[in-house]
Amino acid sequence: MTQSYRIETGGLINRNKKISFKFNGTSYFGYEGDTLASALLANGVHLVGRSFKYHRPRGFFGAGVDEPYAVVQLYRNGETEPNIKATEQELFEGLEASSVNCWPSVNFDIGAINNFLKIFLPAGFYYKTFMWPKSFWYKIYEPFIRKAAGLGVASTKHDKERYEHKYEYCDLLIAGSGPSGLASAYSAAKNGAKVILAEDKPRYGGSLLTSDVNIGNQSGKDWADGIISELKEMPNVTVKNRSQVFGYYDHNMLVMSEKVSDHLPKTKKYHPNKRLWYIRAKEVLISSGSIERPIVFGNNDTPGVMLSSAAKEYLKVYGVLVGKKPLVFTNNDSGYETAIEFKKHGVEPIVLDSRSNPQSEIIDEAKNLGINIKNSYVVVAAQGYKKVKSADVATISEDKKTLGKIENINCDCICVSGFWTPTIHLVSQSGNKTKFNEEIDAFVPGVSKQNETTLGAANGVFTLEETLKTSFEKGKELSKKITEKDNEISIPNVVEKKYSKHDKFWCVPLPKGKSYKRFLDFQNDVAVSDVEIALREGYRSIEHVKRYTTLGMATDQGKTSNLNGLQLVSEIENKVVPSVGHTTFRPPYTPISIGAIVGREVGKHSKPTRKSPIHNWHEEHNAVFVDAGVWLRPRYYKRGNETLFEASKREAKNVRTNVGVCDVTTLGKIDVKGPDAAEFLNRVYTNAWLKLPVGKARYGVMLREDGIVMDDGTTTRISENHYHMTTTTAQAANVLSHLEYYLQLVWPELNVNVVSTTEQWAGAAIAGPKSRDLLQKLFPKTDVSNEGLPFMGYVEGDLFGVKARIFRISFSGELAYEVNVESDNGRFMWEKIIELGEEFQIQPYGTEALSTLRIEMGHVAGSELDGRTIPYDNALEGLLSKKKDFIGKRSLQRAAFVAEDRQRIVGVVPLDKKN
Amino acid sequence: MSLISALNNVHAKGQFGDFEGKDDKNLLSISETTNLLILQIVQYKSSNSSLDNMQVDGLNLRDNPSLVSSNDNTRILWNGPRNWILVSQKKDTLNEIEQKFNDNEFAITDISHSKAIIEIEGKEAKEVLKKGCPFNFGELEKNQCLNSTYNGMSVTIDMLDDDPDKFRIFGLRSFGESLYHSITDASLEFGYIAK
Amino acid sequence: MLHIKCPHCGMRSQNEFSYGGDATVKRPELNKEVTDQEWDNFVYNRVSPRGKHLELWQHLSGCRQWIKVERDTATHEIFKTYKANEEIA
Ligand SMILES: [Zn+2]
């Protein structure tokens, strides 16, 4: 099998390695180093999809990230990924892809009927037609439109690929490895700066891969290769290809998506498919280059119409001819480079130049090669449905308003060059106030807001000599500020061709009596006529025109359409482009997989889990767990077929009749220490704390300054300057921050330290009429009688060689204790309690029984302390000290808080007093 | 008494991730560190004691951000202004401190059981840390420490060595399993030996 | 994501901090008689300026210190950060 559009030699592909792949079910082959696009073109495949609205046939328009058409569905290892640009997807063995946006097939698409009904689908059609009746929207209109207009199909299966994140810091982040990126990276690296150089394509070098220039007596590409291999050897430099810097955020944080395994048939197990880098850079150098813009003419969306730079790239990088009878339509010298490349490979191009008498070195070279050049000529319309067959061309008057007689030229592709648009997306995202440059008819960076500098074509500089000079200097200057080193770099000699001025011409007028669609936005099918309608209907702001017509809103984000849209609006409105202004550039610059954004936050990594040291015992004993914040707590211990209600009733009843044990490790614990600890607690809690003796616990309630109950719990005085505070599980972290706030900001004169000891202690609540008997067994050497350990008392004990703290506190109304041991001994304590409790019919109980017991006792729980209630609402007003001030006290005088009709917690007792 | 350390249930020995065909010496090694004395030491605001005179196990408390004072047994990590974390293999250091430090001037809190401790060693160790922690590890040197977060969990990271890089990662004990899963998951790409 | 200079620890990522509101509010002294209006001003009433704002942040997953940050609410530019007890210049 031969590839009829692949030239014999040349290109940067590896012709020794054939790669087979499938597109829409047909098998093809390409070579290592191909993209899906270049491999299809090599096989003469131009029809790859259908357009969004009219379902018109779609081919290839570009050769990279700017591609508006060739969006495909990709299949790999039984997985599928939608909306992949064929121009970016590298070929790998076994790749399978299919067209999107067409049904039943790309060759026969039912939706294309829209194309013949297009009179009904002008701008705003969806808004106007499908709005009424409103009830139709969700059920009828939306599903229909989605099916007809949708792009790819997202997989419904679990994504087996890994995606990872990484935080990185550097002195200079350089986005783009074209001439400016390489030069600035080189001089910065030589100054010892920590440099990250990011290139979105697989190959480094940017425009140097396709331009006919000479740097330091080498070809541009050889020079780029030399610089890259030198940079790769330097320890202070990270060079990354297949890595797109797609977002520029606050404080010089940029996000880059690295395709780690996207070009491979299969991701290595344990390796990520993509890695998202969060890069904080001291300085950012944007060397993102420029994108060629099209000239607008009739049927300019026909497959075979493409950017002239793309045709050149397919030829020089991939050795692929996009056609054998090419027409080059240009308003500047770039088109001639493409024509010359064709000619060199034995193909006869025709050049149509909208300029009347352009003169330059490169035009002379084209003439000398005998290329057919027609000046003051334009393409009026492409002819052909699924592929360009010919072009209607005509002369154009000097004022670009009048067309001459229409002639038809046979051709199989039309390569368009409407000059260059700097890629300023990152610049704009950084907050830079961009400005319009009349010289190049495009926006360029203006005043920086963050530490960002733009170089080369992205800055509107299109000569290599100037680009290299400023880039070497900038890299040096910025790195010198950081490293204070000043390494001399000699700037190499540059040989390049001088360009003549481009023609300020972007849209071919319609010939009389013709109504060709002239497209601005190729992916969203927005034509010149749509923008005209929007303006006629009164839309003025470019942001409104964008939304009404959907110009620039597709997945390519208008990379090739925005400026021509602006030109049109400014022309109709009789304004200059800068006053129309461009729409806001927002990240991401190019679509990013949802998987990459999510990273490893999937499955058990989606959120952290907190477990008590006794967790495994609960698991082994049929505990059913409940989320308490991020803690996992046993809700109940299931026996047989018990339901939640049956189990919790059994557990609660056993506490009332025998003894139960509950894991209370999750309760927040805070060590409050210092000479002023008592005074501090007295201000924090609503009740009095100055006279609590050592060895005693007290229940306390704390408020926020607005009078709302924040938390409750017991605090025990362990020694003179040491208190052990407990909080609810949910509020533990907030209470600690709250205490730190007062100690650091409000009462810095207090000598108090607070530190969380939640994890230091494993806790077990032992409750029920037989709890004291059990406690005595656990602590045979300790006096736990009512006298030895009275209500709200605290003693230390020895649990078979383990140091323990014993608190006599109860939230259930039963005789109850809480035992704490250091966490490593948590399970030991628990098993001892269960073992020695056996003779007392002990049962473990979970949070459900715990709540039941609390409610039966009339004690507040989480549901009451919900951040909306004051002490009165919870019948806690008895804990409000009248003698002292405390946090939130003043708020309790507010009219609403003393109103008589406030809701209040009440106890409910059955009338027969039995059940 | 039967002590169960924080990571006892998850830390299984063996080789994991992309280790095949790699020299054991080049793999990361991951282990749990147990049985350390860990104390928080805080000097109250009104304390006039000069830190120059306060020594623990021959080491001075120094109020320098990110600094770790260390000897073979003990490391004192800066934890905040006038706030340190002492980590020692010598349990009796607690007695020494309680004798030397007046409780009207210093708060000493035993948090030995509060932490899950992972040690990770190898030339890729910093890469593992970068996957979950937003700190600038390019700046971190041997005998420096920091507090930050790893996949949303608060951690203290102590750099023990730089040839190869070796770190001790302290997480809250209850988060131990999740932290261990995060660290080991991030290590799979490089391959690791769990010791 | 913001990059905040903790006056104790140095430059750190926003992930380590939590926000604490207006730093210019001063709590009335304990046991002092205050009018309803004064108390409301302390608890509730806040201006929401576009531009410079002195605010509290806690270096929660760091040194746990509350700090004051002078930040532009529109551009996120941070002009200066202060320790809790530092005089505001
Ligand atoms: Zn800090």
Which residue of C43, C60, C76 is in closest CB contact with A250?
C76
Residue of A nearest to B188 (CA): A270
The amino acid at residue A648 is S
SS3 per-residue string spanning A837-849 = HHHHCCEECCHHH
What are the tens digits of pLDDT across the range A20-49?
A: 999 999 999 999 999 999 999 999 999 988
Q: Return the pLDDT at A151.
A: 67
Mutation for C interface: B130, B139, B149, B179, most C CBs within 10 A: B149
Continuous H helices in A484-602: 528-536, 542-549, 562-573, 577-580, 594-598
A2 contact partners, CB below 8 Å, separation of at least 6 = none
**Chain B interface includes A611 (CB < 8 A):** yes
Task: Return d(Cα A281, Cα A264) in angstroms, integer.
Answer: 30
Between strands B145-150 and B153-162, the pairing is antiparallel
Residue of B nearest to A631 (CA): B174
Cβ A675–B135 below 8 Å, yes or no?
A: no
Question: Residue A621: which of A649, A651, A658, A645 has the closest Cα?
Answer: A651
Mutation for B interface: A482, A612, A616, A753, most B CBs within 10 A: A753
- CB contacts of B154 in chain C (<8 Å) are 60-61
- CB contacts of B113 in chain A (<8 Å) are 759-761, 822-824
The amino acid at residue B67 is L
Cβ C1–A278 below 8 Å, yes or no?
A: yes
Which of A589, A621, A650 finishes a domain? A589
Question: Residue A872 has which token pair?
Answer: 């009165």
Cβ B3–A824 below 8 Å, yes or no?
A: yes
Distance in Å, CA A606 to ligand 1 centroid = 27
Task: Return d(Cα A860, Cα A913) in angstroms, integer.
Answer: 22
Residue A543: band (very low, low, confident or very high) from pLDDT cuts 50, 70, 90: confident
Distance in Å, CA C85 to ligand 1 centroid = 14
- Name the 3-class secondary structure at A653: helix
Is residue A276 a contact partner of residue A163, using CB atoms and an 8 Å limit?
yes
- CB contacts of A705 in chain C (<8 Å) are 27, 42-43
Q: What is the CA radius of gyration of chain C?
A: 14
Is residue A91 a contact partner of residue A30, using CB atoms and an 8 Å limit?
yes
Cβ C12–B148 below 8 Å, yes or no?
A: yes
Cβ C61–B154 below 8 Å, yes or no?
A: yes
Cβ C65–B146 below 8 Å, yes or no?
A: no
Q: Return the pLDDT at A76.
A: 86
Cβ C3–A740 below 8 Å, yes or no?
A: no
Which residue of C3, C20, C43 is in closest CB contact with A706?
C43
Interface of A with B in 579-608 (CB under 8 A): 600-601, 604-605, 607-608
- Domain ranges, ordered by start, for chain B: 14-34+114-194, 37-110
Q: Is residue A95 part of a domain?
A: yes
Question: Residue B160 has which token pair?
Answer: 């023990």
> How many of the other CB atoms lie within 10 Å of CB of A835?
12
Question: Residue A875: which of A853, A857, A888 has the closest Cα?
Answer: A857
**Chain C interface includes A891 (CB < 8 A):** yes
Cβ C62–B65 below 8 Å, yes or no?
A: no
Please state the rounded mean pLDDT for residues A122-151.
56
* Lowest mean pLDDT, pick from A551-565, A624-638, B138-152, B180-194: A551-565
**Chain B interface includes C13 (CB < 8 A):** yes
Is residue A138 predicted with pLDDT exceeding 70?
no
Distance in Å, CA A278 to ligand 1 centroid = 21
Task: Return d(Cα A810, Cα A866) in angstroms, integer.
Answer: 22
**In the A/B pair of chains, how many CB contacts fall below 8 A?**
143
Surrounding ion ligand 1 within 5 Å at CB are: C 6, 8-9, 59, 62-63
**Chain B interface includes A904 (CB < 8 A):** no
Say how many domains are in chain C: 1
A285 and A430 assigned to the same domain: yes
CA atoms within 13 A on the CB side of A176: 31
- Domain span at residue C46 reads 3-26+41-83
Q: Return the pLDDT at C14.
A: 97
Is residue A350 a contact partner of residue A374, using CB atoms and an 8 Å limit?
yes
Task: Return d(Cα A829, Cα A778) in angstroms, integer.
Answer: 9
Is residue A224 a contact partner of residue A182, using CB atoms and an 8 Å limit?
yes
Question: Residue A855 has which token pair?
Answer: 């409610």
Q: Return the pLDDT at A478.
A: 98
Q: Is residue C88 part of a domain?
A: no
Q: Domain containing A63 — which CATH number?
A: 3.10.20.440
Q: Domain containing A567 — which CATH number?
A: 1.10.10.1100
Q: Return the pLDDT at A558.
A: 81
Task: Return d(Cα A259, Cα A262) in angstroms, integer.
Answer: 5
Q: Is residue C68 part of a domain?
A: yes
- Domain span at residue A84 reads 14-129
Is residue B7 a contact partner of residue B180, using CB atoms and an 8 Å limit?
yes
Q: What is the CA radius of gyration of chain A?
A: 37
Q: Is residue C63 part of a domain?
A: yes
Task: Return d(Cα A290, Cα A462) in angstroms, integer.
Answer: 9
Mutation for A interface: B8, B174, B175, B183, most A CBs within 10 A: B174
Geometric angle at alpha carbon A806, from A790 and B105, rounded to 5°: 105
Q: Return the pLDDT at A222.
A: 97
Which of A461, A495, A529 finishes a domain? A495
Q: Compute the 3-state secondary structure of chain A and give helix, strand, coil in percent, each to the nearest 5.
A: 30, 25, 45
Cβ A745–C56 below 8 Å, yes or no?
A: yes
What are the tens digits of pLDDT across the range A640-674?
A: 999 999 999 999 999 999 999 999 999 999 999 99
Is A228 exposed, middle or buried, given 0-12, 13-18 or 19+ CB atoms closer than 10 A? Answer: buried
**Chain C interface includes A280 (CB < 8 A):** yes
Question: Residue A75 has which token pair?
Answer: 């299949």
Q: Domain containing C54 — which CATH number?
A: 3.30.2270.10
Geometric angle at alpha carbon A729, from A820 and B42, rounded to 5°: 65
**Chain A interface includes B172 (CB < 8 A):** yes
Which residue of C13, C39, C66 is in closest CB contact with A890?
C39
Q: Return the pLDDT at A115.
A: 59
Q: According to the CATH classification, is domain B14-34+114-194 in 2.30.30.140?
A: no
Q: Return the pLDDT at A51.
A: 77
Distance in Å, CA A709 to ligand 1 centroid = 30
**Chain A interface includes B42 (CB < 8 A):** yes
Q: Return the pLDDT at A124.
A: 60
- CB contacts of B111 in chain A (<8 Å) are 755, 757, 759-760
Q: Return the pLDDT at A310.
A: 98
Domain B37-110 sits in CATH at 3.30.70
Task: Return d(Cα A746, Cα A762) in angstroms, integer.
Answer: 33
Residue of C nearest to B63 (CA): C8
Residue A312: band (very low, low, confident or very high) from pLDDT cuts 50, 70, 90: very high
Which of A129, A152, A184 finishes a domain? A129
Interface chains of chain C (3 or more CB pairs under 8 Å): A, B
Which residue of C13, C63, C83 is in closest CB contact with B147?
C63
Task: Return d(Cα C67, Cα A745) in angstroms, integer.
Answer: 9
Q: Is residue A154 part of a domain?
A: no
Is residue A905 a contact partner of residue A864, using CB atoms and an 8 Å limit?
yes
- CB contacts of A278 in chain C (<8 Å) are 1
A432 and A572 assigned to the same domain: no
Please state the rounded mean pLDDT for residues A887-914.
90
- Name the 3-class secondary structure at A623: strand
A19 beta partners = A30
- Closest chain A C-alpha to C49 CA, distance in angstroms: 19
Task: Return d(Cα A42, Cα A13) in angstroms, integer.
Answer: 12
Mutation for A interface: C30, C67, C72, most A CBs within 10 A: C30
End-to-end CA distance of chain C: 26
Say how many domains are in chain A: 3
Q: Return the pLDDT at A121.
A: 55
Continuous H helices in A319-430: 334-344, 361-368, 425-429
- CB contacts of A706 in chain C (<8 Å) are 43-44
Task: Return d(Cα A91, Cα A70) in angstroms, integer.
Answer: 15
A184 and A214 assigned to the same domain: yes
Question: Residue A520: which of A568, A485, A478 has the closest Cα?
Answer: A568
Q: Return the pLDDT at A316.
A: 97
Is residue A133 predicted with pLDDT exceeding 60?
no
Is residue B171 a contact partner of residue B120, using CB atoms and an 8 Å limit?
no
Q: Return the pLDDT at A415.
A: 98
Cβ B189–A607 below 8 Å, yes or no?
A: no
Q: Domain containing A189 — which CATH number?
A: 3.50.50.60
- Name the 3-class secondary structure at A899: coil
Residue with tokens 């360029």: A444
**Chain B interface includes A756 (CB < 8 A):** yes
Task: Return d(Cα A332, Cα B2) in angstroms, integer.
Answer: 83
End-to-end CA distance of chain A: 89
Q: What is the pTM of this model?
A: 0.94
- Name the 3-class secondary structure at A72: strand
Task: Return d(Cα C78, Cα A314) in angstroms, integer.
Answer: 48
A501 contact partners, CB below 8 Å, separation of at least 6 = A332
Which residue of A167, A616, A665 is in closest CB contact with B134?
A167
| A611 secondary structure, DSSP code | -
Q: Is residue C32 part of a domain?
A: no
Question: Residue B152: which of B168, B172, B126, B124 has the closest Cα?
Answer: B172
Phi, psi of A475 (to 5 degrees): -60, -40
CA atoms within 13 A on the CB side of A853: 30
Which residue of B134, B147, B152 is in closest CB contact with C13?
B134
Question: Residue A452 has which token pair?
Answer: 């960002």
- CB contacts of A249 in chain C (<8 Å) are 1
Tens-level pLDDT at each residue, chain B (195 residues): 679 999 999 999 999 999 999 998 889 999 999 999 999 999 999 999 898 888 999 999 999 999 999 999 999 999 999 999 999 999 999 999 999 999 999 999 999 999 999 999 999 999 999 999 999 999 999 999 999 999 999 999 999 999 999 999 999 999 999 999 999 999 999 999 999
Residue A126: band (very low, low, confident or very high) from pLDDT cuts 50, 70, 90: low
Residue C89: band (very low, low, confident or very high) from pLDDT cuts 50, 70, 90: confident
Burial pattern A55-79, b for ≥16 Cβ within 10 A else e, equals bbbbbbbbbbbbbbbbbbbbbbeee
Question: Residue A806: which of A817, A792, A814 has the closest Cα?
Answer: A817
Q: Is residue A188 part of a domain?
A: yes
- Helix (H) or strand (E) holding B109, with range, is strand B106-110
A180 and A286 assigned to the same domain: yes
Residue A832: band (very low, low, confident or very high) from pLDDT cuts 50, 70, 90: very high
Burial pattern A309-327, b for ≥16 Cβ within 10 A else e, equals bbbbbbbbbbbbbbbebbb
Residue A125: band (very low, low, confident or very high) from pLDDT cuts 50, 70, 90: low
- Closest chain B C-alpha to C11 CA, distance in angstroms: 9
- Closest chain B C-alpha to A225 CA, distance in angstroms: 28
Q: Return the pLDDT at A212.
A: 94
What are the tens digits of pLDDT across the range A372-422?
A: 999 999 999 999 999 999 999 999 999 999 999 999 999 999 999 999 999
What are the tens digits of pLDDT across the range A142-187?
A: 555 555 555 677 888 888 899 999 999 999 999 999 999 999 999 9
**Chain C interface includes A894 (CB < 8 A):** yes
- CB contacts of A825 in chain B (<8 Å) are 1-4
Which residue of A251, A449, A683 is in closest CB contact with C30?
A683
Please state the rounded mean pLDDT for residues C8-21.
97
Please state the rounded mean pLDDT for residues C67-86.
96
